[in-house]
Structure 1
């Protein structure tokens, strides 16, 4: 059965974006992207790089982890505002929204139904892993369905912002086992946790 992985960048104090929800790595962002961080993504998770970055870095590797990406409406809106209708054309791309009537891109599937039911159906299908890119609202809605957490932890605190999971997520203390880690010279960490079951 396929697994759902929440693969997200987070600050040391647990935020994935500032209070305005804008792209923290964008032109006016507060989140530095060091060279070794990009090198690690290219080497280990090339499929998680957006199309423009893949082109700029001459990345053609399909990746071994994911073939499907899930995104919430607000996260998807960041790309739309920048003129990108599909940042991940190399992946099956689903956007969960009850407000988008139709997809701005023929390759992007808009899903208005229950995220958990959709993920359970995706898990039964053949393929590689399923990548939950965010945001916090969708991650909160899918909290019980997440099998693996991969946190790209930045050596940065911001004090306030959008948390890893929305405040609407159910209170459900869950144990996670650290199954892999990489510490980069820049201070960034890639921490992989698997849900402890049973």
Structure 2
């Protein structure tokens, strides 16, 4: 059965972006990038991967979910950032249609359960914190790219909300010279 995987960069103080949605303080160069490219090549936007010569065909995802703010990061330059994946953007104000992107105001839990019931690779929850909170009970695996920085405020990994407590077990952890660590958890 497919899993919902929340794979995301996070600061030491638990934010996936700064107060104004900025994420440019996250390290995008260094030895940890080879780890990303090796294990999660399909989480790199299609055009960047092509420019870097990264083969995305062996990745573990075939769908990506994101909130409207996460999707808006690449606009207007990249209206279909992950063309190699089925892209779902949750929004109550869908923009004009874009090839390869499904804009939806469906209940995220309902859509995730439907996707999980289909054959295919895992589903990547790209962001953001509000969507992650709505889907907390559906997340099967957390992969946190803990970055050695503090934002002090911003968009948290999970927004305060009402979701049932859930326990996860650590299955792997890898440290890099940059100070970035990858820690992977599965639902216990």
Deviations 1:69-123 (A, max 9, x none): 0011111011114x211110011111111111543x1210111110000000000
1:100 aligned onto 2:94? yes
After TM superposition, the score normalised by the length of structure 2 is: 0.95
Is the counterpart of residue 120 in structure 1 residue 113 in structure 2? yes
Give the Cα separation in 1 of the matches to 2:59 and 2:101: 21
> What SS does structure 2 have at the residue aligned with 1:53?
helix
Question: What value does the CA root-mean-square deviation take over the aligned residues?
Answer: 1.3
What do the CA deviations read for 1:20-53 (whole angstroms, capped 9, x no partner)? 113x1xxxx2222232122111111100011232
Cα separation, 2, equivalents of 1:171 and 1:31:
28
Counterpart of 1:129 in structure 2 is: 122
SS in 2 for 1:43: helix
3-state SS of 1:32 partner: coil
Q: Which runs of 5+ in 1 are unaligned?
A: none
State how far apart, in whole Å, the 1-side matches of 2:58 and 2:166 are.
Answer: 29
Q: Following the alignment from structure 2 to structure 1, what is the Cα–Cα distance between the partners of residues 58 and 40?
A: 6
Equivalent position of 2:174 in the other structure: 182
Q: Against the structure 1 CA distance between its residues 16 and 125, is the aligned structure 2 distance closer, same or farther, given a 3 Å change threshold? A: same
TM-score in terms of structure 1 length: 0.90
8 A Cα contact 2:60 2:121, kept in partner: yes
Q: For 2:59, which of 61, 64, 77 is the aligned residue?
A: 64
Matched residue of 2:143: which SS?
strand
Whether the 8 Å contact between 1:102 and 1:110 is mirrored in structure 2 is: no
Aligned to 1:157: 150
CA–CA distance in structure 1, aligned partners of residues 113 and 41 of structure 2: 25
Once residues 3 and 74 of structure 1 are traced to their aligned partners in structure 2, the CA distance between those partners, rounded to angstroms, is: 23
Q: In structure 1, how many angstroms separate the alpha carbons of the residues matched to 2:58 and 2:147?
A: 23
Counting matched residue pairs gives: 188
Q: Is the 8 A contact 1:136 1:165 kept in 2?
A: yes
Residues 135-192 of structure 1: CA distance to partner in whole angstroms, max 9, x if unpaired? Answer: 111111111111110001101112111100122x314322110011111111111100
CA contact (8 A) 2:63 2:122 kept: yes
